[in-house]
Amino acid sequence: SPPSSTVATQPTQKPSGEEEKKFNHPIRQNLLPALSQQGTHPEFVRREITAQACDYLGCGYLEKSSSHLQERIVFQVRGVRSDDHGNLSPMILTHMGRATTETQKESDGKWTHYAGFHKSLELYNIDKVILDERAKRQADLCGHILITEGCFDVLKLAEAGIFNVVATFGAQLSKNQIPRIQEISEKLGIKHFRFVYDRDKAGVQGAEEGVRLLQKSGFQVSVFDWEQSFSAKKRISEEITDICDC
């Protein structure tokens, strides 16, 4: 039997796209030993991210390398698998690199990852949410899991000591990511999920669509209110448009 719902044998028919593919298979390559400038690269400094947060999530700058991810900020993306005895452990699914120059953005896109990986099937940081005691304790105390857009959002929240959070690799929750939501719910006994997407139009619309999708699947859902008032004179500044601005 496959290690978990995240890993299975290849389907008999070759999938024609992300909507038809059902599983991402684990890979052996581990770029973590090659990552550097954790907390010191300008992209981390700008966001006030320390080496400790980078080490926790497994991200850093990849210098000269044979990988097409070289000279990018690289995040290791992991899933969770179970052995024959029900013991859970993380597995590497891909590495995702964010461009650090305009040339990289123009040539290969702002974000890139290994060929064959389908991000619409996964949630970033699911392994920590399920396996890390701090994340599980926070989920239990507050009663929900946060859903953000991207890897840097999760990193910024980890820097702030918030660990019960996953990301959807963009401002949209795919129906094919619902099994990952169900996996978290089953493992942690959590039924409530809260969207903290960006404050822009795409984030607002993506959260609204995500709410409908999760409610249809039987989950309790809420959305972070960027317009909320904390007191008569204190609100979130309009200049803050996403978690990384905080």
**Residues facing residue 92 across a β-bridge:** 78
pLDDT at 65: 85
| Alpha helices for 69-132 (secondary structure H) | 102-108, 126-131
How many angstroms separate the first and last alpha carbons of the chain? Answer: 44
Q: Check the CA dihedral 224-226-230-236 and report its sign.
A: positive
d(CA 100, CA 91): 27
d(CA 178, CA 10): 20
pLDDT at 21: 59
d(CA 61, CA 72): 6
Task: Using DSSP, state whether 94 is helix, strand or coil.
Answer: strand
Token digits for 172? 């949209």
Note the pTM of the prediction, 2 decimals: 0.89
d(CA 93, CA 28): 9
Contact 190, 143 (CB under 8 A): yes
HEC sequence for 126-160? HHHHHHCHHHHHHHHHHCEEEEECCHHHHHHHHHC
Which is nearest to 92 in space by CA: 20, 7, 149, 151?
A: 7
CB neighbour list of residue 228: distance below 8 Å, 6 or more residues apart: 235, 236
Token digits for 154? 């999760």
CA distances from 18 to 4, 14, 122, 127, 149 (A): 20, 11, 11, 22, 18
Task: Using DSSP, state whether 121 is helix, strand or coil.
Answer: helix
User: What is the residue-level pLDDT of the chain in tens, covering all 246 positions?
Assistant: 344 434 333 333 444 454 455 789 999 999 999 999 999 999 999 999 999 999 999 999 999 888 999 999 999 999 999 999 999 999 999 999 999 999 999 999 999 999 999 999 999 999 999 999 999 999 999 999 999 999 999 999 999 999 999 999 999 999 999 999 999 999 999 999 999 999 999 999 999 999 999 999 999 999 999 988 887 678 888 889 899 877
